[in-house]
Each structure stands twice: as structure tokens, then as C-alpha cells.
Amino acid sequence: MYAQAASTFTTLRDLLRFAVSRFNDAQLSYGHGTSNAYDEAAYLLLSTLKLPIDQLDPYLDARLLPDEIHDAVDMIEKRAEQRIPTAYLTHEAWQGEFSFYVDERVLVPRSFIFELLGAPLSPWIEHPELIHRALDLCTGSGCLAIQMAHHYPDAHIDAVDISLDALEVAALNVENYGLEDRIELIHTDMFSGLEERYDLIISNPPYVDADSVDELPAEYLHEPELALGSGEDGLDATREILRRAPEFLNEHGVLLVEIGHNRDVLEAAFPHLPFVWLETSGGDGFVFLLTREDLVD
């Protein structure tokens, strides 16, 4: 039916209308870069047609070639039928002004930590030049390590992941940004085998609790399971980070960790720690900051 309908399409406007209707009918879930059917459809179509992703209006009434229509409808159907996140279909994800290659070997980047690097950390890191060594635990696609390199130009960064598949993707992104000399990709489990001490440690570890993993929409099941769940309460990885971070932080070093919706559970588990909850576009309950001194007092 959809192939027959596609034969009547001539413009991007036709495809956009069809895609929005199709996504609404399929009751898709969002959260991998967009929050609604219209934005998802616009981005998917512009990317598929190799058009600037921030310029929809000039192209809405442009007549498309049959092959372009075929490719666009194929992408719309993959998104609707297989519920594949759009980032995996386009092999591209954005954080701010940064674009990253992604596929099913890594999570689609969506950490709030990127919003906090640089100026927002100035109360704890007075000058970017003070960060000489930094660590990104659970680096995945390498997106946060690359953004750390941008905000802290004097830093050498270790980017760690337990998944060799993820590190292969991270290597592509590091190479794309020409940062091979500043970012070292390390295959290990959390802190295991590391010997350096760091001025800044960041981590967007697995943090989804067991009940929530069971209820995830189909879109999220395309992502690596290893990168999502972290024990019954979602805090297994975070507990390990809090336990071992003092060994690897320099004096006055800073730890920045994202924990999803687990703030209440975390504070109940560690009532003695003076968590600082930083404001992000999602609110102030997703990313905490601690200094080395907070962790050892």
C-alpha cells in the first residue's frame, strides 16, 4: 500500500505529510534527538535527501526524483515498522554543534553532561587550562570525550569502555575530529588497569533499573543492552564509580556523573555524600558533581 502511495508523491511536502501521519499511526516513541513526529520526520527526510538539516522551508515544494522518493519512503517505513531510532538510520547524532557517527554498537548520544562542560563548571574549575588529564568512563561513541577535548584544550583524555564494538565507533569519531593525539581509547571495565590520576572524571554510565529496562519502548531495544541496565536499582555502575573515583582524582579533582531518574535512590544509598545537582535542560536531578575532597571526607 505504501509503495503504491509513494507513486503519487512529487515533493518533499508530500513526503513530510506522509511521514508525520505514518509515525503518528505507528505510535512511535521519541527521545533520540527529537520529541515529536514532525521534527523526527523533517530530520529524517532532510538527512536522507542530503539537504541541510536546518533548512526545510526552501525545499518543501521542490520536485523530487523517483529514486529520492523511493529512498525516503524506505527510510520512513524502516522507522515506522522496525522502530529503528532515526540516528541509526542516518548514522548521525547531534549534541549541540557537534555531529557524531553512530550505529547499533553504541547508545545514541543524549547525555546532559555535554551542557555542563566548560563555563558551567567554572565554580569548581576556575580555568580550562587547569585540566591536564581527564577521564571519560563508559565513553560509548566518544562524544563526551571529544567535547571535553574542545572545552579543555590542554587536556589529554582517556576514554574507557568495556565494549570493543563501542570503541570501534569511538575511534571513527575521534579520527573525524582529528583528536587521535589527545584522546586515548582504552578497552577495560571501568577503572580496571588504569594508572593515571585525573583533574576531571565524567561518566554517563548504565543507570536504568531492572523494572524500567523491562518497560522500555521498542526503539530503545535497538541500543546495546550492556549500556542501559545497571542492576536492580540502576546504581551498580554508579556505586563502583563512587567507590573507586578517589583513587583516580587529583587533589581538588572533579567527578561528574549522570544517573537518569535515580536521584532519590542515590541520595538514600549515600546520605553522607554532599551531592551537588547541576541544572540542565532536563532539570536539576540528572547529573551530580562531587570533588575528591567530598568523596574522602
Q: Evaluate whether the domain defined by 105-296 bears CATH number 3.40.50.150.
A: yes
- Bridge-based pairing of strands 133-137 and 276-277 is unpaired
Contacts of 164 (CB under 8 A, 6+ apart): 187
Is residue 227 over pLDDT 80? Answer: no
Provide the residue ranges of all domains of the chain, joining segments of one domain with +.
Answer: 2-90, 105-296
Task: Tell me the mean pLDDT in the region 248-259.
Answer: 96
CATH C-level class of 2-90 = mainly alpha
Structure confidence at residue 159 as a pLDDT band (50, 70, 90): very high
Mean pLDDT score across all residues of the chain: 92
What is the pLDDT at residue 59?
Answer: 93
Higher per-residue confidence, 110 vs 175:
175
What is the pLDDT at residue 112?
Answer: 94
Structure confidence at residue 167 as a pLDDT band (50, 70, 90): very high
Maximum CA pair distance of the chain?
A: 69
Task: Tell me the mean pLDDT in the region 135-139.
Answer: 97
Is residue 126 over pLDDT 60? Answer: yes
- Quickly count: other Cβ atoms within 10 Å of residue 297's Cβ: 9
Distance of CA 224 to the CA centre of its chain: 13
The angle formed by the CA atoms of residues 205, 230 and 264, to the nearest 5 degrees, is: 85
Is residue 2 over pLDDT 70? Answer: no
CA dist list (Å): 247 to 63, 241, 275:
61, 10, 19
pLDDT digits (tens, 9 = 90+) for 259-281: 988 899 999 999 999 999 999 99
Structure confidence at residue 13 as a pLDDT band (50, 70, 90): very high
All cell numbers assigned to 203 = 561518566
What is the pLDDT at residue 211?
Answer: 74
Is residue 233 over pLDDT 80? Answer: no
Give the lowest-confidence range in 77-91, 202-216, 282-296. 202-216
